[in-house]
Amino acid sequence: MIIRPRRLRRSKAIRSMICETRLSQSMLVYPMFVKEGHGIEEEIAPMPGQKRFSVDRLLYAVERVLSAGVSSILLFGLPEKKDFLGSEAYASDGIIPKALRELKRRFPELLCVTDVCLCEYTDHGHCGCPSGGDGYVDNDTSLPLLAKAALSHARAGADVVAPSDMMDGRVAAIRAALDEDGYVDTAIMSYSVKYASAFYGPFREAADSAPAFGDRRTYQMDPRNRREALREIELDAEEGADMVMVKPGLPYLDILSAARDISPVPVGAYSVSGEYSMIKAASERGWIDERRVVCETAFSLVRAGADILMTYHAPELAEWLSKGEIEF
């Protein structure tokens, strides 16, 4: 007798019925960039199709995102001025609080996740505060500033704060600050496993956040390490993270799978700017079918263990899902 698994691949209908991995619009989170000013929609050159918005234009963009079927966004802020301590990151009238207040007034149903870091706000471009002449980022000096940034977002209406700095102990510091101020229901999605990756290049141009000196390898994770990643997840969960994240996504599917196995909380994956830009560049040259590659990538991340998917292709994915245009 011949065993015939191909029977279950014979038609689209049967393939869809028995597929092991399913993707829904509610899993998608769309990263967006907001900056000071008025009437601004700036194209981001290395990320075709992505833009930096002033708050007024962000509202129109979010309306389109919601109509596509995406109900969650991840906000990154670009301040008007930067300084050594990144004071605009935690200013009550900073760009993220401004955007949040308008978004929540206009779209109360929108789930707003905010990136909590200092790199976009410091004149040196690091995620924490350097100390001494060697430029080494001081972990414990940075924690109160990150906590203040998270608190300023919560006060303005953030549903979820997402620390991306990779400082030790920052989840505990943020949780304590939120709880002490009465924001016990504000969730934390920790960038628990954020590798020192070359895939962030386009984002650093988009957010004007490249470090002015040195690099981030003293706090972001070594791409060669796996056990360390699982330890970071366990520590963040112990400190009070409500969700954890693996970043980048596609190059670290093994980490994502292992994270799903050990994490007591939901696991997110961030399909980062470099992944997006490579797909765009190849599709513009006719080398790949963009829709099929985007869908294959998304399902790979979910298959590996992602409960939540941060992706710059979120609106397209949502529309393809709603129209039944995702085919395998």
Distance CA 143, CA 93 (A): 21
- What φ, ψ does residue 250 adopt, rounded to 5°? -60, -40
Is 35 one of the catalytic residues?
A: no
How far is 271 from 284, CA to CA, in rounded Å? 19
Contact between 89 and 81 (Cβ < 8 Å):
no
Q: Which of 35, 82, 98, 247 is catalytic?
A: 247
Query: Do residues 52 and 40 lie in contact, with contact meaning Cβ atoms separated by under 8 Å?
Result: yes
Q: Which listed residue (82, 148, 194, 280) is catalytic? A: 194
Per-residue HEC secondary structure of 132-196 comes to CCCCEEEHHHHHHHHHHHHHHHHHHCCCEEEECCCCCCHHHHHHHHHHHCCCCCCEEEEEEEEEC
Q: Report the candidate in 246, 252, 236, 311 with the shortest Cα–Cα distance to residue 277.
A: 311
Q: Is 323 a catalytic residue?
A: no
Please identify every residue annotated as catalytic. 194, 247
